[in-house]
Amino acid sequence: MLAGGYIAARIDWRMAFIAVGLAGMLVGPLVRLIVRDRPKPAPMARKPAFATVARSLAGKPSFWLLSFGAASGSMIGYGLAFWLPSLMRRSFGLDLIATSHFLAGLLLIGGVGGIVAGGWLADRLGARDRAWFGYVPAIAYLASIPLFAGGIHGGDVRIAFALFLLPQALSYAWLGPVLSAVQHLVAPPERATAAALFLLINNLIGLGGGIYALGALSDALTPLYGSDALRHAMLAGLGLYAVAALLVGLAGLHLRRDWVEPLTAPE
């Protein structure tokens, strides 16, 4: 984000995207070398069919609650991520490079910290009660709402950064618990299909609708609030985090029954 801001400001915004893509290609081999999977499960007689996995997930309320809960959170999450640079420039007066500093700090500190903390906490609490894989993201979603509202409504950029930092972490805390829970709704050979179906729902609703919905709401509020319409659209959109909290919290109740423990192969 930081390097992309410099490149976009001094060279060209298209080159910024190319640079970020090249950086991802360099990181990919490191992930392949460092990340290790758990021991392989006991082999199945044959590969499960897509329709079989889909029917199994369709009968589990936790899958639908997790999917639509995460999609609701992703709608406002993607919307904030996309429109926050515009807010920082319109309402806080930052230039492109200062905006990249602001967002890079939020994503590096808040984003990484939130993902790690959410996964760690869900693993510890979920070892005793699987429902915590839903409760942890639900609590994080709810706690992020007033903090995001304070940052969006603030007038000083330094105070806004402090107020944005914690909810940025909280809004990313769902990733570890929810993705892990989805993987444990089916047997290990079926996990790729389960993940694909979950991501299909999440991205169609979250990525497909969030950015446009927030922009459309901002346009609708412009006659009332002028250049501050985006700020008010973001504040209204935070209600989606409450919806997300309700859905993933309810999913936690069903995870106790829907959870599938893998059978490992004998050594």
Q: What is the pLDDT of residues 199-242, one digit of tens each?
A: 999 999 988 788 888 889 999 999 998 878 888 999 999 999 99
- Residues composing the chain: 267
Encode pLDDT of 40-82 as tens digits.
655 555 678 889 999 999 999 999 999 999 999 999 999 888 8
Exposed / middle / buried, residue 58 (Cβ in 10 Å: 0-12, 13-18, 19+): exposed
Whether the per-residue pLDDT at 263 is higher than 90: the answer is no
Encode pLDDT of 87-125 as tens digits.
888 777 788 788 888 888 888 898 899 999 999 999 999
Cα dihedral angle (256, 71, 27, 2), rounded to 10 degrees?
-130
Specify the pTM. 0.80
Confidence class for position 18, pLDDT limits 50, 70, 90: confident
SS3 breakdown of the chain: % helix, strand, coil, rounded to 5? 80, 0, 20
